[in-house]
Amino acid sequence: MRPAAILRLHLPLGLLMTVCACSGQAPPAATDTAAGTATGDRGAALYMQNCVPCHREKGEGVPNVYPSLAGSPAVLGDPVELAQWVLSQKRPATIPAGRYATQMLLFGWLKDQDAAALLTFIRANFGNAASPVDAAMIAKARAR
Ligand code: HEC
């Protein structure tokens, strides 16, 4: 009987697709390089578009002009404080005033998901290895 044959054929295929679903269902990313995950690609793209002019490609900054994000206590520390700095320039103790004559731009217009991807990216690159940031932490930072 045909339906039975189809069932026999499709069951193993269905199982196979379930196994592959984790990678197969990732939304298409603009660039397929960098960290590899969708969040990583989004964060990398946002970093390239918004932060590179000052903090440079490898997060190294410009000595005495723009701080390095590599090994920065502000980047590696409390994610809510980091988000407050980037989104509303509320200065945490890890970013003491008076070190730089130049100013940072405000990025409060970033969506929660995008801000989370961006901060996750800077915490996981340039030799940094801090925990990821999620959208709930961004919302918390905005509410404070
Ligand atoms: C116009 C240049 C400029 C751009 C663009 C910029 N920044 Fe900055 N950033 C600065 C300056 C200047 C400081 C230091 C400000 C201070 O200490 O008062 C800074 C400080 C920081 C710090 C604190 C680092 C430390 O250790 O003190 C973080 C984190 C940061 N920026 C993240 C970002 C991110 C993420 C982006 C992109 C969304 C970005 N910045 C875009 C100029 C810039």
The token duo for 14 is 């269905």
The pLDDT value given to residue 38: 64
Please, which residues have CB within 8 angstroms of residue 95's CB and are 6 or more apart in sequence?
74, 85
Residue 105 CB less than 6 A away from ligand 1: yes
Query: How far apart are the C-alpha atoms of 20 and 58, rounded to whole Å?
Result: 33
Query: How far apart are the C-alpha atoms of 112 and 93, rounded to whole Å?
Result: 23
What stretches in the chain show pLDDT beneath 50?
Answer: 4-36
Cα of 104 from ligand 1 centre, angstroms: 5
Residue 66 CB less than 6 A away from ligand 1: yes
Proportion of the chain above pLDDT 90, given as a percent:
72
Q: For 27-51, what is each residue's pLDDT tens digit?
A: 444 443 444 456 679 999 999 999 9
The token duo for 55 is 């903090």
Q: Please tell me the total number of residues recorded for the chain in this structure.
A: 144
- Residue spans of the domains in the chain: they are 34-143
CA 79 to chain centre: 12
Cα of 9 from ligand 1 centre, angstroms: 56
Based on its alpha-carbon atoms, the radius of gyration of the chain, rounded to whole angstroms, reads 21
The pLDDT value given to residue 27: 42
Spell out the SS3 assignment of 40-100. Answer: HHHHHHHHHHHCHHHHCCCCCCECCCECCCCCCHHHHCCHHHHHHHHHHCCCCCCCCCCCC
The pLDDT value given to residue 19: 40
The pLDDT value given to residue 2: 56
Query: How far apart are the C-alpha atoms of 114 and 100, rounded to whole Å?
Result: 27
pTM: 0.79
Name the fold adopted by 34-143.
Cytochrome Bc1 Complex; Chain D, domain 2 (1.10.760)
| Residue of 48, 55, 87, 120 with the most ligand 1 atoms within 8 Å of its CB, for mutation | 55
The pLDDT value given to residue 101: 94
CA 93 to chain centre: 23
Atom of ligand 1 nearest to the CA of 95: 27
The pLDDT value given to residue 144: 83
